[in-house]
Amino acid sequence: MSCFAFAVLCPIRQDAAYFGLFGVLFAAAVGVSTGNNWCRALAKLLLPPELYRHLRHSGVLSDTLLPNGWEWNLFVNRLTAAVVVVLLMQLGINFAPTAESIRVTLEWRDLRYTVPVGRRRQRTSKTILEGLSAVLPPGRLLAIMGPTGCGKSSLVNALAGRLPAGGSLEGEVLVNGLPRGRGFKSITAYVMQDDVLFPNLTVFETMEFAARMRLPPSVSAAEKAARVEAVINELGLAKCRDTYIGSAFVRGVSGGERKRVNVGVELLSNPQLLLLDEPTSGLDAFQAQNVMESLQNLAQGGRSVVATIHQPRSSIYSLFDMLLVLSEGRDMYYGPAGEAVAWFESCGFACPAHYNPADFFADIVAIDHRSPAAEEASKARIALLVDRFNQRQQQQREAEQAAAVPAEDQAAMEKINDRPSFPNPLPTEFSLLLRRAWKQQSRDRLPQVITLVQTLVLGFVLAALFSDIPTTLAGAQDELGVLFMSCMFNTMASIFASLNTFPAEAGIIQRERISKAYHVSPYYVARFLCDLPLRVAQSLLFGVIVYWIVGLKGTAAAFFIFCALTILLALASQALGVAVSAACPSEKVAFAVAPGITVILMLFAGFLVTYESIPAWLRWICYLSHLYYAFMGLTINNFRGSSEWSCNTSATPGCAGASGDAILTRLGFEGKGVWEPFVGLACLALGYNLAGYAVLRFSKQKFIPLTASTAKKRA
């Protein structure tokens, strides 16, 4: 009964089977056990973590599940409550606590980041961060400064947990005294140096999508809209609200506006910790000031903000609460920005009057490579500053240990770590992604125009070449050529369309996935559906032109079968393009690999080399080639039952001509129904799509995990 209820009530979720299984075992466990903890442990083991957390937070799976042992009515109540919770979850109602009001104390201890350098035998390791430690209290704007290559971006990435795999990271990063848990991403905004946004959406649409996708359904639509407006105004984006983001091909917002949109997208989820890498790079002084003032406002509102910055002007410098100066991956100063000048002065390096402190620090912590003497002098100066700072930190550490993180902040973080990872249920994710993909795609006119014009041109060229096919054996060969070319055109056009469009959005998807904005499955399906009309239009247009001008089998049924097969072929090819694109490390590699794969599949299509002529041990490749099934289908459709193809006896004396079925026999397609290639092609289209999905799902960028520092491990 409970099994049935769970399975029926959750049909739109992928894990219906899970629910069914849970229902059976839940009932059985409660029935045989008087110890209720048993039940809860079982539920934890069997349920998807998200559902388990919702049930726990809603009180359904409390410690005293059935307080007085087995009672039917209590059990039914609990079960009904569980069903209601699941239903409400489907409607997007969140039972877990939200992150709105948490204050974040960020601490890092002895962070050490090393990367391997050099090739093979000469491989050594390079230390980029050399044991950095600091505590950032809530409501502060911390600026990380230092010469280029000193490790600023590496530090921000290490704090965000986004250092690319390949090196090793040791130390500790604590949020409110706790190691970064699953809730860390939901309270953190991470703004990268390079902005990645959809070029064909307006500023407002970009923001609106981010708000809908990243905020849980417990935030009402009106609140989401209000937040979008607030962020647009806060970041001074009102005047470009309806301007496209733009790209190299589409005129859009300015560089500064683009940067602010990027920051804004992250701000919409109301993060309590902001980690920004060079938020002002590429901006003029005025825009840089605006962005930094916005960040200061956010910090004053209680958020913790960490931003790397290159040579800020004095007015920007005065906005910082805290300052971290790095040189060669080492701490040179960490503390209140207002005390930095006095600190360096106490070390013997006084900032001249009317001098921008930021410029002064940049000068004294940089290594001067102009001459060996200058290099030595600057290294000695840095060593002295590092030494002095280490002494200061030693003293400060004792004071910091006394000022522990407030217990309520720590408890709030614990709750957030217990929250579900994705803010929205799958149906909401799907509808939002479908809308965005459709807008982006329908406005990206150039590839569509190119596809359709190319289809027209190629269709007419092919039709002109084969417009007058005789009913001789040579004519049959020409028709086979037309059918093969139809397969090739639909394959190439679709694969390369995917290779062209997919990499452009891969960066955005990667970023959104890392932020746990949505699952891959709704993204993949939405993308497939948005590509569908163009693929169908392309195949139909090509079919209409070529089929009738060339004069292939003249029945309506044969024409529709031709179109259906070429559409299926195009869809399979599109999926193959996505799979190749997602599996390759770069666009260039994908473009190099795709033609090779296409040629192999083409060789096994059954036209250039017939199935019978392919060595037996290689024939299995035919069954992986969508071109094989498509060509087989088109050929059977065109030649089965067709009348005699005559022979030009003056050219080839003794030639007897052949029926359509005889031609099919020669190609190795005898005895096959037209449904067979349909099924094969449909299975391959599905298989390629599953492969594309799987590659995308598992090609998530890998980051270095944080390990305890070696010193600690040894201890």
Residues in contact with Mg ion by CB under 5 A are 153
Q: Strands, E, within 412-510: which ranges?
A: none
CA 226 and chain centroid, separation = 27
Of the two residues 83 and 192, which places its CB atom closer to ligand ATP in the complex?
Answer: 192
Of the two residues 307 and 506, which places its CB atom closer to Mg ion in the complex?
Answer: 307
State the minimum distance, in angstroms, from the CB of residue 101 to ligand ATP. 33
Of the two residues 126 and 239, which places its CB atom closer to ligand ATP in the complex?
Answer: 126
Of the two residues 126 and 712, which places its CB atom closer to ligand ATP in the complex?
Answer: 126
Diameter over CA atoms, the chain: 108
Structure tokens at 331: 């701490």
- Among 436, 699, 447, CA closest to 581: 699
Structure tokens at 316: 């920007």
- Calpha distance 225→241 (Å, rounded): 13
State the minimum distance, in angstroms, from the CB of residue 600 to ligand ATP. 35
Which amino acid is located at 708 in the chain?
A
Handedness of CA 3, 5, 6, 8 (dihedral sign): positive
State the minimum distance, in angstroms, from the CB of residue 24 to Mg ion. 55
State the minimum distance, in angstroms, from the CB of residue 190 to ligand ATP. 15
Contact 575, 689 (CB under 8 A): yes
State the minimum distance, in angstroms, from the CB of residue 282 to ligand ATP. 12
- Calpha distance 195→208 (Å, rounded): 17
Of the two residues 192 and 245, which places its CB atom closer to Mg ion in the complex?
Answer: 192
Of the two residues 74 and 367, which places its CB atom closer to ligand ATP in the complex?
Answer: 367
Of the two residues 141 and 326, which places its CB atom closer to ligand ATP in the complex?
Answer: 326
State the minimum distance, in angstroms, from the CB of residue 151 to Mg ion. 9
Q: Strands, E, within 269-395: which ranges?
A: 273-276, 304-308, 322-327, 330-336
Of the two residues 153 and 665, which places its CB atom closer to Mg ion in the complex?
Answer: 153
For 649, the enclosing helix (H) or strand (E) is none
Of the two residues 163 and 579, which places its CB atom closer to ligand ATP in the complex?
Answer: 163
DSSP state of 425: -
CA distances from 517 to 117, 414, 432, 523, 527 (A): 34, 21, 11, 11, 16
State the minimum distance, in angstroms, from the CB of residue 310 to Mg ion. 8
> Residues interacting with ligand ATP, by CB under 6 A?
115, 117, 126, 128, 146, 148-154, 166-167, 310
Of the two residues 153 and 243, which places its CB atom closer to Mg ion in the complex?
Answer: 153
For 3, the enclosing helix (H) or strand (E) is helix 2-9
- Calpha distance 422→409 (Å, rounded): 22
CB neighbour burial string for 657-691, b if at least 16 within 10 angstroms, e if fewer: ebebbbbbeebbbeebebeebbebbeebbebbbeb
> Position of tokens 């083991």?
45
Q: Give the end-to-end CA distance of the chain in Å, rounded to a whole number.
A: 56
Residue 148 touches which of Mg ion, ligand ATP, none (Cβ within 5-8 Å per kind): ligand ATP
Residue 154 touches which of ligand ATP, Mg ion, none (Cβ within 5-8 Å per kind): ligand ATP
State the minimum distance, in angstroms, from the CB of residue 310 to ligand ATP. 6
Residue 151 touches which of Mg ion, ligand ATP, none (Cβ within 5-8 Å per kind): ligand ATP
State the minimum distance, in angstroms, from the CB of residue 116 to ligand ATP. 8
Grouping H, G, I as helix, E, B as strand and the rest as coil, residue 332 is: strand
Integer Rg of the chain from CA: 32
State the minimum distance, in angstroms, from the CB of residue 173 to ligand ATP. 16
Which amino acid is located at 237 in the chain?
L
Strand partners, 472: 646
